[in-house]
């Protein structure tokens, strides 16, 4: 079993300067990423209105499939015109990891 995770640090548009405005951007992003059959949540910068970190996790039987899923999620995030992807970070755990 292989487990992969990714964090996407996002800059939100200038009109996301309230919790309600931020939520209007975060909710559709989370919903879109769920289509890749990953666990997804807002995991950072929750106190900042103009920034967010979205985390995803995937589990599969081989590392190649996990990488494909995370690649697709990152490509999706980079292609969203309403937000700017500032950085992404990945981790992959396999059977040899304790």
Q: What is the pLDDT of residues 35-52, one digit of tens each?
A: 999 999 999 988 888 899
| pLDDT computed for residue 98 by the predictor | 63
**If you average pLDDT over residues 46-67, what whole number do you get?**
93
pTM of the model: 0.90
Name, in order, each residue with C-beta under 8 angstroms of 63's C-beta and a sequence gap of 6 or more: 2, 4, 92, 94
- Report the mean per-residue pLDDT for the chain: 93
| pLDDT computed for residue 67 by the predictor | 95
| pLDDT computed for residue 46 by the predictor | 84
**If you average pLDDT over residues 59-66, what whole number do you get?**
94
Q: Is the pLDDT at 28 greater than 70, yes or no? A: yes
Q: How many CA atoms lie within 13 A of 57 on its CB side?
A: 8
**If you average pLDDT over residues 4-11, what whole number do you get?**
96
**If you average pLDDT over residues 19-29, what whole number do you get?**
91
**Neighbour-count burial of 24, counting CB atoms closer than 10 A to its CB (0-12 exposed, 13-18 middle, 19+ buried):** middle
Q: Tokens at residue 13, please?
A: 């548009």
For residue 6, what are the CA distances in angstroms to 57, 65, 83?
7, 14, 17
Backbone φ and ψ for 33, nearest 5 degrees, come out as -70, -30
């Amino acid at each position: 079993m292989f487990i992969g995770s990714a964090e996407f640090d996002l800059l939100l548009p200038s009109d996301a300067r309230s919790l309600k405005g931020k939520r209007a951007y975060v909710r559709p992003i989370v919903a879109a990423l769920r289509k890749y059959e990953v666990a997804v949540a807002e995991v950072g910068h929750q106190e900042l209105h103009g920034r967010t970190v979205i985390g995803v996790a995937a589990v599969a039987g081989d590392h190649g499939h996990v990488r494909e899923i995370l690649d697709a999620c990152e490509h999706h995030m980079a292609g969203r015109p309403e937000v700017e992807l500032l950085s992404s970070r990945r981790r992959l755990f396999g059977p040899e990891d304790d």
